Structure 1
């Protein structure tokens, strides 16, 4: 069971639903990693100027259990809210199963660049309105679950097959290409040539008689 580090930067949102009727929206994001026993949650600063197009560039890190993530049991949730004196207003959220963000192989970042993605925001009324952009990368040692191919040592050789061709599991000799006539091993072809010459000689002697 391996722990990875998810480096996440909540960059910005655009064209969000305007939930304030009179005052300007002061938007912040709450990012939660769900599915593990220990719930991890962080909150960005409040953007008091962007309105429905806020910018944060808030960076933080999450510890990720790789096995749970690959089993689809971890979900990254980004909730967007407008801060108000009489109670904050829910704007919408983005939910992403973490398995969709994981690399498909053991090619983890280890210092390489961040990957930028944009997701639509779902409002409390289940309508898609606006988008959220963030960047991320995973750092750590990958563990590949499932069958692993192990290469034999350099001195290893496959067992001989009854056909004399191919490694284990045994394979028959591939069919010849179209138009090819199999003439047998070289020694057979030489014997056939000798017999053909002998036949020609007998035929010539018969004609002379």
Structure 2
């Protein structure tokens, strides 16, 4: 199966809606690709200082199948939450097709930095999220697993 490495670095968000009545906003992001399954969801650390302007500079790595960038139905979803003792409060999210990200990044060597307005429901909410992404070269899954196993074996010895 053909696949490629995909890295996304959530840089920051700014001017988010303050969803707290009392206390400071402590925001983290949850990222999923192609499904909203919580088992495959990855998340940033919580920014406890930026409040409505959080900064993470946090990189997440994925191996995605080539088919995920061939069709518009595979979505990158980034959801923002404010940490609370009584349960996290939803701030907003962005959705974008992986195919569009790939087509935008391809002319720039497979990497790009983007900003998207945060949405809540079907309307733009308040704020914007900024992230970078990078697509690796296309490889066969067998070759990728072999290379990762060799790299892991070399670092142990």
Question: Shorter-normalised TM-score: what interval?
Answer: 0.7 to 0.9
Structure 2 unaligned segments of length 5 or more: list them: 140-157
CA-CA distance at 1:40 after TM superposition: 3.1
CA-CA distance at 1:68 after TM superposition: 3.1
Does residue 31 (structure 1) correspond to residue 31 (structure 2)? The answer is yes
From 117, 122, 127, give the equivalent of 1:120.
Answer: 117
Contact kept in structure 1, 2:105 and 2:112, CA below 8 Å: no
CA distance, structure 2, for counterparts of residue 23 and residue 141 of structure 1: 47
Structure 1 unaligned segments of length 5 or more: list them: 143-209
* TM-score, with structure 1 as normaliser: 0.60
Q: CA RMSD in A?
A: 2.7
Specify the structure having the higher radius of gyration (Cα).
1
CA distance, structure 1, for counterparts of residue 117 and residue 27 of structure 2: 16
Q: Which structure features the higher share of helix residues?
A: 2
Say how many residue pairs are matched.
139
Pair 36,129 (structure 1): closer, same or farther in 2 beyond 3 Å: closer
Pair 36,73 (structure 1): closer, same or farther in 2 beyond 3 Å: farther
Does residue 70 (structure 1) correspond to residue 67 (structure 2)? The answer is no
Q: Which structure features the higher share of strand residues?
A: 2
Pair 127,105 (structure 1): closer, same or farther in 2 beyond 3 Å: closer
CA distance, structure 2, for counterparts of residue 33 and residue 106 of structure 1: 19
Does residue 136 (structure 1) correspond to residue 150 (structure 2)? The answer is no
Contact kept in structure 1, 2:27 and 2:80, CA below 8 Å: yes
CA-CA distance at 1:125 after TM superposition: 6.9
* TM-score, with structure 2 as normaliser: 0.78
